[in-house]
Structure 1
Amino acid sequence: MKNRNIIFHVTKQYMKLNRRRTAITFIGIVFMVILMTCVFAGKRTVLAYLDKVAALDKGNWFVAAYDLKPEETEKIRDMEETTLMGCSEQLGVLEFPQTGNVEEKPYLDVKAYSPESFEMVNIELTEGRFPENKNEIILSDSVIKDGSGIKIGDTISGDFFTRTITVTEEGHTIGFPFFGIELEFNETADVPANFPAVGENNPFREDHIPNGLAAEYTVVGIMKRPVFEDVSGACYPALTAMENNLPLSDTLNVLLRFDPEKVDYERQYVEKIEEIAGRDIETESNDLLLTFSLMSDDETMGDLIMFVTVFFTVFIMAASVILIYNVFNMSFAERTRYLGMLASVGATGKQKRQSIYYECFSLLIPAVPVGILAGTGVIKGGMELLKPWICDIIDLVKPGSAKKLPVTIDAGAGEIALIVIMCVITVMISALIPAIKISKTGPVECIKSGTEKTKNKRFKTKKSLLEKGRPELLLAVNSTGRLKHLTKGIIRSVTVFAVLTVTTLYGAQCVIRIADIKTQDSGWLPDTSGYDYLVITENDTFDQVMDLVESSDATDNITPEELSPVVGLGVFRDKISDEYFEAYKYTLSQFPDYNEEDWIKQEENGLYDIIGVEAIVVSDDDFKAIAAAGDSDMSIASSPEIPSVLLYNKMQFTTDHTFIIGSSANYKFTEVKALYNASKGETIDLVDDFSPDKTAVQVKVAGLIDEKSIKGRIILTADEPYIIINRSTQKQIAENMDSARMDYNIKSILFNYEEKNDPDLIKKLGDLSEKTYISVIKCVGGEVYGNLKRAIAGIVKTLAYCFTALVSVVCLLNLYNSVRGRAAERTRETAMLRSVGMTEKQLAKMHDLENVFLIGKGLLIAAAVSAVLILFLQYALMNLFGNASFTVPYLLCAGIAVFIYAAAAVFTRICTRNTGNAELIEKIRRERI
Structure 2
Amino acid sequence: MRNIFSEITRRTMGQNRTRTVVTIIGVILSTAMVTALAVFAGSMQHFLVQHTIAMEGAWHVDISGMTREELAEVLADDRVEKASVLYELGYVPAREEDGICHLVASRDETAWEELPVELDAGRLPETEDEILIPYDGIWIAGQEAHVGDVLAIPMGRYVSETGETQKSWELVRETSEEAGRAGQYVEGQTQSFTVTGVYKEMAEMDFGSARFDAGYMLLTGGRDIPDQDENGLYCRAFLEMKKPGQADGFIADWVDPSDGRNRLEGVSWSRHDSLLRWQGVFRSERYIQFIVGMLGTLLAVIMVGSVSLIYNSFSISLRERTAQFGLLASVGATRKQLRKSLRFEAFLVSGLGIPLGLLAGVAGSAVTLHFIGGGLTAFMYGYEGEIPVQIYPAALLLAAAFAFLIVLVSVWIPSRRIRKISPMDAIRSTKDIRIRPRDVKSGRLTGKMLGLPGMLASKNYRRDRKKYKSTVVSLTVSMVLLMTAALFTIYLTRAGGTILDPPKYELEYTLFLSGSQGDEQTTGDVRKLLENEPGVEEVWMYKSIYLSIPVEENMLNEEYSRIHSWSEEDHPDGKVPFTCPAIVLSDDEYQEFLKEQGLEEPDAGAAADGADGTDDTVLKAVYYDQMQVYDEENETYSQVPVLSDEVKKRPLAAGIYRAEETPDGGQEMTFEEKLQVEFDQETMQLPEKYDAQGRVDPIMILSERQFEQYRSLMRDGTEGESYFAEFNIRASDYRTVGADLQEKLEEKEEWDGIFYTPAADAEMNRQAVAAIQVLCYGFIALISLIALVNVFNTMSTNLMLRRREFAMLRSVGMTGRSFRLMLGYECVIYGLRSLVYGTILSLLISFAFWHFTSRAGGGNEFIFPWPWFAAAVAGVLLIVGITMAYSIGKIRRMNIIDELRKE
TM range (shorter): 0.7 to 0.9
**Is residue 460 of structure 2 the alignment partner of residue 479 of structure 1?**
yes
Residues 716-758 of structure 1, C-alpha deviation per residue, up to 9 Å, x if partnerless? 97524556897999899999xxx999x9442235689999999
2:803 match = 827
Distance 2:801 2:747 in 1: 85
Shift of 1:495: 0.8
**Is residue 362 of structure 2 the alignment partner of residue 376 of structure 1?**
yes
Q: How many residues align?
A: 835
SS state at 2:441 partner: coil
Correspondence for 1:362 among 330, 338, 348: 348
Q: Evaluate the alpha carbon distance shift between residue 903 and residue 749 of structure 1 in structure 2; reply closer, same or farther with a 3 A threshold.
A: closer
Residues 547-597 of structure 1, C-alpha deviation per residue, up to 9 Å, x if partnerless? 777899976999998754234622575x77xxx67x989x99xxxxxxxxx
State the one-letter code of the partner of 1:81.
Answer: R
Q: Evaluate the alpha carbon distance shift between residue 23 and residue 160 of structure 1 in structure 2; reply closer, same or farther with a 3 A threshold.
A: farther
**Is residue 49 of structure 2 the alignment partner of residue 51 of structure 1?**
yes
Distance 2:648 2:725 in 1: 32
SS state at 1:851 partner: helix
Distance 1:553 1:723 in 2: 24
1:455 match = 435
Do the aligned partners of 1:64 and 1:253 also contact (CA within 8 Å) in 2? yes
Q: Evaluate the alpha carbon distance shift between residue 215 and residue 777 of structure 1 in structure 2; reply closer, same or farther with a 3 A threshold.
A: closer
**Is residue 701 of structure 2 the alignment partner of residue 703 of structure 1?**
no
Shift of 1:489: 1.9
Q: Evaluate the alpha carbon distance shift between residue 787 and residue 8 of structure 1 in structure 2; reply closer, same or farther with a 3 A threshold.
A: same
Distance 1:178 1:251 in 2: 14
State the one-letter code of the partner of 1:847.
Answer: L
- Taking the TM superposition and a 5 Å limit, the aligned residue runs for 1:104-119 are 110-119=104-113
**Is residue 637 of structure 2 the alignment partner of residue 669 of structure 1?**
yes
State the one-letter code of the partner of 1:56.
Answer: A
Shift of 1:328: 1.8
State the one-letter code of the partner of 1:497.
Answer: S
Do the aligned partners of 1:654 and 1:667 also contact (CA within 8 Å) in 2? no
2:421 match = 441
Shift of 1:331: 2.3
Q: Evaluate the alpha carbon distance shift between residue 706 and residue 530 of structure 1 in structure 2; reply closer, same or farther with a 3 A threshold.
A: farther
Q: Evaluate the alpha carbon distance shift between residue 745 and residue 712 of structure 1 in structure 2; reply closer, same or farther with a 3 A threshold.
A: farther
Q: Evaluate the alpha carbon distance shift between residue 456 and residue 536 of structure 1 in structure 2; reply closer, same or farther with a 3 A threshold.
A: same
State the one-letter code of the partner of 1:889.
Answer: P
SS state at 1:485 partner: helix
Q: Evaluate the alpha carbon distance shift between residue 675 and residue 718 of structure 1 in structure 2; reply closer, same or farther with a 3 A threshold.
A: farther
SS state at 1:243 partner: coil
State the one-letter code of the partner of 1:113.
Answer: R
Shift of 1:517: 3.2
TM-score normalised to structure 1 length: 0.74
**Is residue 187 of structure 2 the alignment partner of residue 209 of structure 1?**
yes
- Taking the TM superposition and a 5 Å limit, the aligned residue runs for 1:210-609 are 210=188, 212=189, 214=191, 226=202, 227=205, 230=210, 237-243=218-224, 251-258=234-241, 259-263=243-247, 268=252, 271=255, 277-295=263-281, 297-298=283-284, 302-395=288-381, 399-400=382-383, 403=384, 406-413=387-394, 415-458=395-438, 459-462=440-443, 470-518=451-499, 520=501, 533-538=509-514, 542=516, 563-567=544-548, 569-571=550-552, 573=554
1:23 match = 21
State the one-letter code of the partner of 1:372.
Answer: L
Q: Evaluate the alpha carbon distance shift between residue 487 and residue 208 of structure 1 in structure 2; reply closer, same or farther with a 3 A threshold.
A: same
Do the aligned partners of 1:569 and 1:615 also contact (CA within 8 Å) in 2? no
Q: Evaluate the alpha carbon distance shift between residue 533 and residue 848 of structure 1 in structure 2; reply closer, same or farther with a 3 A threshold.
A: same
1:40 match = 38
2:9 match = 11
Distance 2:590 2:380 in 1: 42
Distance 2:371 2:543 in 1: 44
Q: Evaluate the alpha carbon distance shift between residue 178 and residue 837 of structure 1 in structure 2; reply closer, same or farther with a 3 A threshold.
A: farther
Q: Evaluate the alpha carbon distance shift between residue 165 and residue 503 of structure 1 in structure 2; reply closer, same or farther with a 3 A threshold.
A: same
Residues 605-628 of structure 1, C-alpha deviation per residue, up to 9 Å, x if partnerless? xxxx98874334789999998999
Correspondence for 1:799 among 769, 772, 775: 775
Distance 1:165 1:67 in 2: 14
Shift of 1:701: 4.5
Distance 2:437 2:78 in 1: 71
CA RMSD of aligned residues (A): 5.5
Distance 2:696 2:858 in 1: 15
Shift of 1:828: 0.2
Q: Evaluate the alpha carbon distance shift between residue 714 and residue 367 of structure 1 in structure 2; reply closer, same or farther with a 3 A threshold.
A: closer
Q: Evaluate the alpha carbon distance shift between residue 94 and residue 755 of structure 1 in structure 2; reply closer, same or farther with a 3 A threshold.
A: closer
Q: Evaluate the alpha carbon distance shift between residue 556 and residue 900 of structure 1 in structure 2; reply closer, same or farther with a 3 A threshold.
A: closer
Q: Evaluate the alpha carbon distance shift between residue 62 and residue 156 of structure 1 in structure 2; reply closer, same or farther with a 3 A threshold.
A: farther
Shift of 1:318: 0.9
Tell which deviates more after alignment, 424-433 or 342-351: 342-351
Distance 1:126 1:750 in 2: 32
- Taking the TM superposition and a 5 Å limit, the aligned residue runs for 1:831-846 are 831-846=807-822
Report the identity percentage.
Answer: 18
Distance 1:530 1:75 in 2: 45
Do the aligned partners of 1:564 and 1:747 also contact (CA within 8 Å) in 2? yes
**Is residue 614 of structure 2 the alignment partner of residue 614 of structure 1?**
no
Shift of 1:9: 4.0
2:884 match = 908
State the one-letter code of the partner of 1:671.
Answer: Q
Distance 1:278 1:83 in 2: 19
Q: Evaluate the alpha carbon distance shift between residue 514 and residue 423 of structure 1 in structure 2; reply closer, same or farther with a 3 A threshold.
A: same
**Is residue 629 of structure 2 the alignment partner of residue 654 of structure 1?**
yes
Do the aligned partners of 1:376 and 1:409 also contact (CA within 8 Å) in 2? no
Q: Evaluate the alpha carbon distance shift between residue 864 and residue 294 of structure 1 in structure 2; reply closer, same or farther with a 3 A threshold.
A: same
State the one-letter code of the partner of 1:257.
Answer: E
Shift of 1:830: 0.9
Shift of 1:840: 3.1
Shift of 1:486: 1.7
Tell which deviates more after alignment, 87-96 or 722-731: 722-731
Identify unmatched segments of 5+ residues in structure 2: 161-168, 532-538, 564-573, 659-667, 730-736
Residues 222-267 of structure 1, C-alpha deviation per residue, up to 9 Å, x if partnerless? 8776545648998674342423797777633211122234345885
Residues 85-116 of structure 1, C-alpha deviation per residue, up to 9 Å, x if partnerless? 222213346799xxxx9x99x99965432332
SS state at 1:704 partner: strand
Residues 783-841 of structure 1, C-alpha deviation per residue, up to 9 Å, x if partnerless? 87999998766543432221122122222222122112211220001111222233334
Do the aligned partners of 1:476 and 1:846 also contact (CA within 8 Å) in 2? yes
SS state at 1:331 partner: helix
Distance 1:785 1:842 in 2: 67
Identify unmatched segments of 5+ residues in structure 1: 167-175, 192-206, 523-527, 589-608, 659-663, 769-774
Distance 1:920 1:130 in 2: 88
Residues 505-544 of structure 1, C-alpha deviation per residue, up to 9 Å, x if partnerless? 122122322333345599xxxxx999974322445xx457
